[in-house]
Amino acid sequence: MITLKKLQDKVEKRISDYMEFDIKDLFEVSDYITIYGGAVRDSLADLEIHDVDILCMPDSARKLRIFLNTKGYTTLELYDVDSLHMYKGISLISEPWTLMNKNRKIIQIIRPTFGGPNMTTTTSEMEYQLSYYNLIKNVDLSCCGVFLENFGDTIKLREACETAIVQCLSKTYIVNDWAKLYNRNRTDFREYKLDSRGWKNFRSDKNTQLKRERQMKLINLEFKPEYDYKIWTEEEYLNKPAPLKKDDFWDLV
C-alpha cells in the first residue's frame, strides 16, 4: 500500500540529495517557501531531477538567496534554453533568480508579481498571498501541480491540480489550456519534453490500458485526492473557461 507519508518521504529525500543539503533546513529560512513543479513531479515519477523551483514571497526570496550562498550556490547571470522557454513572457512572475553550486545543481527562486502602486501594506500582503497561490494553481500541465509546503514544523506534500499525484505516479498529464501559465508555444515545448521522457497526455491517449493503470495507482493509495492537502476547490475548476470533464477522471468512492 502506498501512503502519502511514504511518497512525501521519497520526495524530500530525492530533492535533499539533489540540492546536497537537508530540505528541512531550507524550510526553516522563512515563511512562504514552496518547492513546486518539476522537482516534485520527477521525484514522484522516479525520474532524474533537472532543477528545483522554489516559490517565495519577496522577503523570503532575499533570505533564501543568502541561505543558498552559505550552501555554495551562486547566482547565474545567464539562463539555459529550457529556463527561457519555461518563464519567458509569463506575467505572473518576476524574472527568476537562478543559482548553481559547484556540482552544477540548479535552484530557481520564483517570485510572483502583484498589484498596483497605491496599495497599503495590509493590502500588499493580501495581494502577495493571492498571487502566490494563484501561481501554484495555474500550472499549464496538470502533473506539475504538485508541491511541498511548510506548515509550522510540518512539511506537507500537496496537490494544486486534481489527481496530480496519481498522474505523477502513472506518468500521465492533462494540458490546462485555461491556466494563466498556459502559452501555446511554451506549453508545446514543455509537453514535447515530457513526452520524450515517457509521459502521456491522458486526454489524447486512447489506450484503455493507460486508464486502467491510473485506476490501479489510485486504488493502491491509502489516501484520496479530495482530502484537505489540496489548495484547489471544485468550484475553481467548474468556473474555468474550459472546466475539466468528469469523464477525464473517475468517480472517487
- CB 166 within 8 Å of CB 225: yes
Provide CB contacts within 8 A for 216, sequence distance 6+.
none
pLDDT in tens, 181-217: 888 888 898 899 999 999 988 776 566 677 777 777 7
Q: What is the tens place of the pLDDT at every residue in 77-100?
A: 755 555 555 555 566 677 889 999
For residues 49-74, average pLDDT: 94
Q: What does pTM read for this prediction?
A: 0.81
Instruction: Look at residue 230 in the predicted model and tell me its pLDDT.
Output: 57
4-223 topology per CATH: Beta Polymerase; domain 2 (3.30.460)
Backbone torsions φ then ψ of 197, nearest 5 degrees: -105, 10
Residues 6+ apart with CB under 8 A from 22: 16
Q: Domain residues of the chain, as ranges?
A: 4-223
Q: What is the pLDDT of residue 236?
A: 56
